[in-house]
Amino acid sequence: MIEWIDILTGLAVVLAVLGIVLLSMVLINFARHALKIPYWWALEKKIYQKAVTEKPQEEKRMSKEKGEGVTFNDIFMFMIAVPLVLLWVGFAGFVIHTGLNNAAVLENIEAYTTLIAILGGPALLIIKDALDVWKQEQAEKTAFYKVKAQAVIDYNDANQKQAQMIETKAQDHEHKSGGKK
C-alpha cells in the first residue's frame, strides 16, 4: 500500500517539475521580448508572417487598444499564487480524507493542521486580493453602466428638446407666413 507521504512526495515532485518548466518558458519568453529575438523556432519566416497577416484586422486592433501583455503580476499569479492555493486546498482535502480513513493521521493531526495553517496564511491573502480585484472590476463596470445610462438619457432628452424646438420654429414660421406654404 502506498503511504500518504509517498503520495505527497510524488505530488511535490510533479509540482516542482511543472514549476521549473513554467519558469523556463517564462524566462525564454522574457528574454525573447527583451532582446527582440524573432521567432526562431518557426520553420520558415514566411510561415510566421503568414500566420500574423491572416489574423483579422479587428482582432489586431482590439488587442492594441487593450494594451494587453504579460506583466509581472500575471507571472506571479501563475507561478506562485495559483499553485500555492491549489496545494493548500488539495493538502487540506487530502488530510481530511485520510483522517477519516486512517487513525494514524488523527494521532498527528496537530502537525497537519500546522502545515495547513502555514500554507493557508499566504493562500488566504492571495484569495482576498483576488476577490478585491474582482470587486474593483465590478465597481468599474457598474460605474461605466451608470455613465452610459446617463449618456443615453441625456441624448434622448436632447433629441426631444431638439424635436420640440424644430416643431416650435415650424409653427412660428407657419404663423408668420400666414398659414401659406
pLDDT digits (tens, 9 = 90+) for 19-59: 777 777 777 777 776 666 555 544 445 555 555 555 555 55
The mean per-residue pLDDT over the stretch 150-177 comes to 93
Place 158 in a pLDDT band, splitting at 50, 70 and 90: very high
List pLDDT tens digits, range 85-140: 888 888 888 888 888 888 888 888 888 888 888 888 888 888 888 888 888 888 88
**For position 46, what pLDDT does the model report?**
52
- Domain positions in the chain are 4-133
pLDDT of residue 43: 45
Write down the pTM of the prediction.
0.45
| pLDDT for res 179 | 58
The DSSP 8-state label assigned to residue 178 in this structure reads: T
Within 8 A by CB and 6+ apart from 87, the residues are: 15, 119
